[in-house]
Structures are given as structure tokens and as C-alpha cells.
Amino acid sequence: MSRFGGNTLIIVKGKASAENLPKDQSLDNMIDNYAKEIIPNHFFISSYDAMPEWMGSFSKLPKGAGITKVGTIHHNLNEMLFQYDISVTTDVYIGYHQWKNVHAVFIKTSEEELKLLLGSYDTTYDYVLQVFIRGEKSEIFLKNNPINLERILLILLYKMDLNYEDSIHQFEPSKTHVGKLLSKEFCNSLTTRMNGISDDNKLTDLLKSLARSSSLD
């Protein structure tokens, strides 16, 4: 899947995307010298671009990182090439990585649909996205600023390549305290909101538009 460092390979060397990673993959160095600033004070690292050594698949969610379920996406699987559209369900979880303003996103795609096609597929919790938010203490916590959770979700959907018409069928927020931070209007809008968000510049505009919409409400 493209979530594991992209699909392009270099003979002998392995994943082409790994060429872009620094030798020092410590969290501090990755945040300071690798993470992309998509809007002011919002930086992200995605395994879809290149997978740092601390991202990847986990058989269980890591403990002690405040990880909570955000919701479930019903969507087409665009991370693998098939002759026709394949519909799957993916659960989204969020916690933190070392610091409370470094948000770690895990996804788990159900095995039921993929086993029919691949023969064998083990469901794992995949650490695919990290979003570092720099700002005042009250601004970095999701409970104090739910718009940050919305931004993180939109970055995730963009990296999952769910920017085509009808790619997202439904988003169901969880009944956890995190899922309840998302408004019904935002959740319903996800079936179409990502349409045409085909590059980083369009994603930036989309993330900025959330702030404008919020200020008008």
C-alpha cells in the first residue's frame, strides 16, 4: 500500500521515498528539519511520502499515548491499484507522540474486504501521520480547539488519496470524547469536501478556509 512509504522502488535500494529521509530520524530532528509546514504553525510528517523508522504497522495500539478512536471512514481504497473500485472501512485513531502537541494518527483498514482479493491480509494499526502544532498551550489541545482535529483529518484524507468524486462514502464519528469534538456538519461534508484537492497548495487553501468559516459562525 502507498501508506507504507510510497509504491516506487529503486532496484537494490528499496523504497524510493526512503532516499528523502535524513540519517537522523529522531523526533526532534524530523520535526525541525523534515516536517512540512502546510499552514502557519502546522507541520506534518506522512508515511505516504516516506516512512520514518518509528512509523509503520503495529499489532496493537501503543499504550500510554492517549490514543482514542476518532471515527470510521467508508471509502474506496485508492492506496492500491485494482481494475475496479474497492470499498473498505477504515478506523481512525489519534494520540500523541512524546509531546502533547505532536499528534499521532493511526488507521486500521478492515480485513474483510481485502481478504477476498488478496487471499491474506492481516489487520494492523498503521501509524501514518504526525501533525505538530506550534502555538499557545490553549491552542494546541484538540479539546480547546476542535478545528485542529478537523485539519488533521483533512490532511489524512488527502494523503489517503481520497480526493476524487465518490471516494468517501460516509464518515462516522466515534462516541468517544474526541469523536464528539467534530460537528455533524463537518462529518457530513467529508463526502464531498475533498473533491479536487489534488495538490498541497489546494490543501493549504482548504485548511485556511476552515479558520475563515469558524470565524463567521
Q: pTM, whole model, 2 decimals?
A: 0.90
Q: Say if strands 68-76 and 87-97 run parallel, antiparallel, or are unpaired.
A: antiparallel
Domain that holds residue 108: 9-216
Percentage of the chain lying above the pLDDT 90 cut: 68
pLDDT digits (tens, 9 = 90+) for 179-197: 999 999 999 999 999 999 9
Band the pLDDT of 173: cuts 50, 70, 90: very high
108-144 pLDDT per residue, tens: 998 777 767 777 777 899 999 999 999 866 666 788 8
Domain assignment present for 23: yes
Q: What is the mean pLDDT of the chain?
A: 88
- Answer yes or no: is 103 within a domain: yes
Residue 19 scores a pLDDT above 70: no
| 9 has pLDDT over 60 | no
pLDDT at 69: 97
Whether pLDDT at 12 is above 60? no
In a domain, 154, yes or no: yes
Q: Is residue 26 part of a domain?
A: yes
Q: What is the 3-state secondary structure (H, E, C) of the chain?
A: CCCCCCCCEECCCEEHHHHHCCCCCCHHHHHHHCCEEEECCEEEEECCCCCCCCCEEECCCCCCCCCEEEEEEEEECCCCCCCCCCEEEEEEEEEEECEEEEEEEEEEECHHHHHHHHCCCCCCEEEEEEEEECCCHHHHCCCCCCHHHHHHHHHHHHHCCCCCCCCEEEEEECCCCCHHHCCHHHHHHHHHHCCCCCCHHHHHHHHHHHHHHHHHC
Q: Give the tens place of pLDDT for each residue, 80-104.
A: 887 778 889 999 999 999 999 999 9
| Number of domains making up the chain | 1
**Within a domain: 4:** no
Q: Please give the pLDDT value at position 10.
A: 47
Contact 161, 168 (CB under 8 A): no
- Give residue 76's Cα distance to chain centre: 15
Q: Is 2 domain-assigned?
A: no
In a domain, 171, yes or no: yes
